[in-house]
Amino acid sequence: MPRTLVTGGAGFLGSSLCEDLRKRDHEVICMDNLSTGDIRNIEHLQGEGFSFIKHDVTEYIFLAGSIDYILHFASPASPLDYLQLPIQTLKVGALGTHKALGLAKEKKATFLLASTSEVYGDPLIHPQREDYWGNVNPIGPRGVYEEAKRFAEALTMAYHRYHGVDTKIVRIFNTFGPRMRIGDGRAIPAFIPQSLANEPLTVFGDGNQTRSFCYVDDLIEGIYRLLMSDQNDPVNIGNPHEMTILEMGQLIIQLTGSSSKIIHDPLPVDDPKVRQPDISLAKGILGWEPKFSVEEGLKLTIKWFESIQNSS
Ligand code: UDP
């Protein structure tokens, strides 16, 4: 049974990964300092083949025994989180990645970095291909996340080239699904609870900025295929279905049968105007493409938000 460490394993994506890896019969060690993660995300996984370690990955990591795979997912990941935790965001991208890579080298483990479409910044090339270097403002409020992930990619490639560590880099585009945190400031976990409560949807700016939203199960499948591949250069994983934020708000209102109206709040600084993955590389080398339509994914996500509201 492969033994796999997931940092940030109690977060939205980390916990989905832990769940998937358990289904694939990995022994999973989940590490999280619970700064933005939530222990309730992994409670159902407790038992044989799963363990949780509360630890800040920016501090030295000691783990006994062999480790086959390390997936480094620890980081604040919503604009609101990294505005509130700017230094931690930089530290986990830099020092945390360093510690996780050091462990991978020591254990001769395959390492996968959760990178992001944010490395492309406010892109001047559309859609974004992996060979685009991006348009990032290093000193803007989003710079803490964007630059941390860019540094993390550079460090990962350095460990690959200099130390021969088997590394993978996934550039994750906007992903949604069950276990997103209400109030984390992102569009979908803001819009769904607002719609369910028939409260106004807070669209930032005129809402004509675009994003391309991928359902979490599709993302996780793509990540697993990348982990098992021999691709060391970054790969975009996302759903190319591009829509405006206004359209997303309207679709959520429609799917929830809500009477909510849309209101406009100020657009955050450096909010990217467009974002859409070019997934030719993932299609070609991983045989991967998304299976869930945005609407199917939203229905499942809405159902989950309804269930947690009913249980609280
Ligand atoms: N957004 C919005 N209302 C909200 C939260 C976000 O209009 O309550 C906008 C945000 O300005 C951005 C888009 O939705 O243009 C996607 O934001 P999100 O935080 O989900 O992801 P990111 O900006 O990281 O792509």
**Which residue in 120, 145, 159, 215 is the catalytic one?**
145
Residue 205 falls in which region: left (phi positive, over 0), alpha (psi -120 to 50) or beta: left
**Is residue 198 located within the same domain as residue 113?**
no
How far apart are alpha carbons 270 and 250 in whole angstroms?
A: 24
**Is residue 226 located within the same domain as residue 248?**
no
Q: Supply φ then ψ for residue 84, to 5 degrees.
A: -85, -25
State the distance from the centre of ligand 1 to the C-alpha of 79, rounded, in angstroms: 8
Answer yes or no: are the C-beta atoms of 130 and 169 closer than 8 Å. no
Query: What is the secondary structure of the chain as a DSSP string?
Result: --EEEEETTTSHHHHHHHHHHHHTT-EEEEEE--SS--GGGTGGG-BTTEEEEE--TTS-----S--SEEEE--S--SHHHHHHSHHHHHHIIIIIHHHHHHHHHHHT-EEEEEEEGGGGBS-SSSSBPTT---B--TTSTTHHHHHHHHHHHHHHHHHHHHH---EEEEEE--EE-TTPPTTSS-HHHHHHHHHHTTPPEEEETTS--EEE-EEHHHHHHHHHHHHTS---S-EEES---EEEHHHHHHHHHHHHT----EEEEPPPTT--S---B--HHHHHHH-----S-HHHHHHHHHHHHHHHHHH-
**Is residue 248 located within the same domain as residue 140?**
no
- Residue 59: CATH number of its domain: 3.40.50.720
**Is residue 220 located within the same domain as residue 298?**
no
Atom of ligand 1 nearest to the CA of 267: 11
Ligand 1: which of 239, 271, 301 to mutate, most ligand atoms within 8 Å of CB? 271
Ligand 1: which of 199, 212, 245, 252 to mutate, most ligand atoms within 8 Å of CB? 245
Ligand 1: which residue has its CA nearest to atom 3?
Answer: 203
**Is residue 74 located within the same domain as residue 96?**
yes
What's the pLDDT score for residue 311? Answer: 78
Q: Is 244 in the pocket of ligand 1 (CB under 6 A)?
A: no
Q: Which domain holds residue 107?
A: 3-176+214-240+281-286
State the distance from the centre of ligand 1 to the C-alpha of 174, rounded, in angstroms: 10
How far apart are alpha carbons 52 and 150 in whole angstroms?
A: 28
Residue 69, C-beta contacts closer than 8 angstroms, at least 6 positions apart: 2, 3, 4, 5, 26, 109, 110, 111, 112, 227
Atom of ligand 1 nearest to the CA of 118: 24
The residues with which 242 forms a beta bridge, in sequence order, are 212
- Residue 194: CATH number of its domain: 3.90.25.10
**Is residue 300 located within the same domain as residue 154?**
no
How far apart are alpha carbons 7 and 72 in whole angstroms?
A: 5
How far apart are alpha carbons 38 and 164 in whole angstroms?
A: 34
Instruction: Determine, yes or no, domain membership for 182.
Output: no
Instruction: Determine, yes or no, domain membership for 19.
Output: yes
Q: Is 116 in the pocket of ligand 1 (CB under 6 A)?
A: no
What's the pLDDT score for residue 309? Answer: 83
145 is catalytic: yes
Q: Is 174 in the pocket of ligand 1 (CB under 6 A)?
A: yes
Instruction: Determine, yes or no, domain membership for 24.
Output: yes
> What domain count does the chain have?
2
**Is residue 225 located within the same domain as residue 251?**
no
pLDDT tens string, the chain, 312 residues long: the values are 999 999 999 999 999 999 999 999 999 999 999 999 999 999 999 999 999 999 999 999 999 999 999 999 999 999 999 999 999 999 999 999 999 999 999 999 999 999 999 999 999 999 999 999 999 999 999 999 999 999 999 999 999 999 999 999 999 999 999 999 998 999 999 999 999 999 999 999 999 999 999 999 999 999 999 999 999 999 999 999 999 999 999 999 999 999 999 999 999 999 999 999 999 999 999 999 999 999 999 999 999 999 988 776
**Is residue 21 located within the same domain as residue 79?**
yes
Buried b (16+ CB within 10 A) or exposed e, 54-63: ebbbbeebeb
Of 148, 149, 120, 162, nearest in space to 276 by CA = 120
Cα 299 → chain centroid: 20
Q: Is 202 in the pocket of ligand 1 (CB under 6 A)?
A: yes
Overall pTM surpassing 0.95 (yes/no): yes
